[in-house]
Amino acid sequence: MDVMEKTDPFLLGHEQFSKRVNDVPSWLEKRRSVALAHFKVLGPPTRGVEQWRFTNVRRIAALGAVAAGPGEKTLTDLSDYSADGATIRMIFENGFFRADLSELDNLPKGLRLRSLAEVLGEHAQAPLTQLDPHVDSGDEAFTALNGAFMEDGVFLEVAANTVLETPIQLLFVGHAADSPRAAHPRNLIAIGENAEVTLVEAYVGQGAYWTNAVTQIDLAPSARLTHYYKQRESERACHVTSHIIRANRDSRLVMHNLLTGSELMRHNIEVSFTGEGAEAQVNGLYVADGDQHLDNYIHMDHQVPHCSSDQFFKGILDGKGQAIFTGKVTVRPDAQKTDAKQANRNLLLSESARIDTQPQLEIYADDVKCAHGATTGQIDPDALFYLQSRGIDPKSARELLLFAFAKEVIERLPHEAMRQEAESFLNQRFSSASLSGDLP
């Protein structure tokens, strides 16, 4: 086995971590050691594993990121990072809660928003029930690794029938200290019965670091969650995240993914439909240029009848940028009347950009609707010429067309502040030299 593929580079700082947390409740210590053992058994993902066949984790290993600690506080200023229209903000630095930078005063009734570290500290005897042990024992090695380092993150509970109009922002800021840092935030989100909320989960930062996040979301019957996941990590960062979502009866999830950051990203979305009538719509836009590698792995697991899932992803690839879109749909034998859709459209702007898109359908029920489609193309030269023939210079014409392509995803964002922020970010990105492309 290649040296770089061993577990060591991913466990830097684990010794110090163990010393630091050695007074934790025994149930938690056991959870962590089970997770660590599981990670070691699985080993870091290799391209021999089907779900990882397009992504080499060598870049993460090469970072040599050391597990961050709660004492390393250097972040003082959030002015670089948009609040996306949220007035409730929870801020994390390298995976650790920064109460001083957060805005959690006067939380509305029905909203429980705290740091996981705090909540864990209060569960000395009995395990925290919201923390599902099955999450760590699955086949994703980095999720197990996150479990081995579990210490802090978001703990959010929305009580039944609570409806919140303004979004809540969960902002994760990463950065290097004397050397690259690794953050393993674990986020537990539970939306109560018939509650409705909008969340922004944003990852930003500066310099070289690695984020390995796990976000577990439980939707109670008839819960409605709009979740905006914004991956805008530093261009030298690696980012791995797993969204593990359970959709109960008649719940509704609308997820928006805007994926533009990091040099390497692996994003898992796993939705388990456990109650009839649940709906999940997952929209996304990824933009990769330079040497970026963005891997999206989505799994809609239809376990019960009458649920619907809709995946709608678009991508823009330039330079040597590479993206992967795997849209897997499982329809289990009982899941009759499932309606599963997926679409993936890509623009390739350069000869060396690359997209690997693959639908994977595993259907074991006979009365279902499943549709999928993928397209890959270039900027339409006729459209480019038409704009130029009206006096618009080639660069502006190109930007106009790129933005037009992206707009279909952006305009679905739930709040004006989010749309405007995304729009101005993308316009700036499209006008930068790095997205200049070498094809018309």
Contact segment (CB under 8 A) with another protein among 96-104, 238-246, 352-360, 397-405 equals: 397-405
Cα–Cα distances (Å) from 236 to 60, 286, 342, in that order, read: 10, 17, 31
Q: Does 16 bind another protein (CB under 8 A)?
A: no
DSSP string, 95-109: TEE-TTT-B-TTPPT
DSSP string, 378-424: ---HHHHHHHHTTT--HHHHHHHHHHHHHHHHHTTSSSHHHHHHHHH
Q: Which two tokens stand for residue 255?
A: 């997820």
Q: Does 281 bind another protein (CB under 8 A)?
A: no
Helix (H, G, I), strand (E, B) or coil at 257: strand
Q: Which two tokens stand for residue 210?
A: 């690695």
Q: Does 51 bind another protein (CB under 8 A)?
A: no
Q: Does 343 bind another protein (CB under 8 A)?
A: no
The whole-angstrom separation of Cα 65 and Cα 62 is: 8
Q: Does 364 bind another protein (CB under 8 A)?
A: no
We find the least distance from the C-beta atom of residue 394 to another protein, in angstroms, to be 7
We find the least distance from the C-beta atom of residue 431 to another protein, in angstroms, to be 13
Q: Are strands 238-247 and 209-219 parallel, antiparallel or unpaired?
A: parallel
Contact segment (CB under 8 A) with another protein among 113-121, 127-135, 184-192, 389-397 equals: 389-397
Q: Does 438 bind another protein (CB under 8 A)?
A: no
Q: Does 387 bind another protein (CB under 8 A)?
A: yes
Q: Does 394 bind another protein (CB under 8 A)?
A: yes
Contact segment (CB under 8 A) with another protein among 19-27, 264-272, 339-347, 377-385 equals: 377-385
Q: Which two tokens stand for residue 232?
A: 């805008």
Residues 399-428 that bind another protein (CB under 8 A): 400-401, 403-405, 407-408
We find the least distance from the C-beta atom of residue 347 to another protein, in angstroms, to be 12
We find the least distance from the C-beta atom of residue 311 to another protein, in angstroms, to be 20
Contacts of 52 (CB under 8 A, 6+ apart): 45, 46, 266
DSSP string, 179-245: S-EEE--EEEEEE-TT-EEEEEEEEEEESSEEEEEEEEEEE-TT-EEEEEEEE---TT-EEEEEEEE
Closer to another protein by CB, 160 or 383: give it. 383
- Give the binding-site size for another protein (rule: CB under 8 A): 22
Q: Does 83 bind another protein (CB under 8 A)?
A: no
Closer to another protein by CB, 10 or 313: give it. 313
Q: Does 76 bind another protein (CB under 8 A)?
A: no
Q: Does 431 bind another protein (CB under 8 A)?
A: no
Are 335 and 303 in contact by the 8 Å Cβ rule? The answer is yes
Q: Does 396 bind another protein (CB under 8 A)?
A: yes
Q: At what angle do helices 26-42 and 141-148 cross, to 10 degrees?
A: 150
For tokens 């067309």, what's the residue?
A: 401
- Chain positions contacting another protein, by CB under 8 A: 380, 382-383, 385-394, 396-397, 400-401, 403-405, 407-408
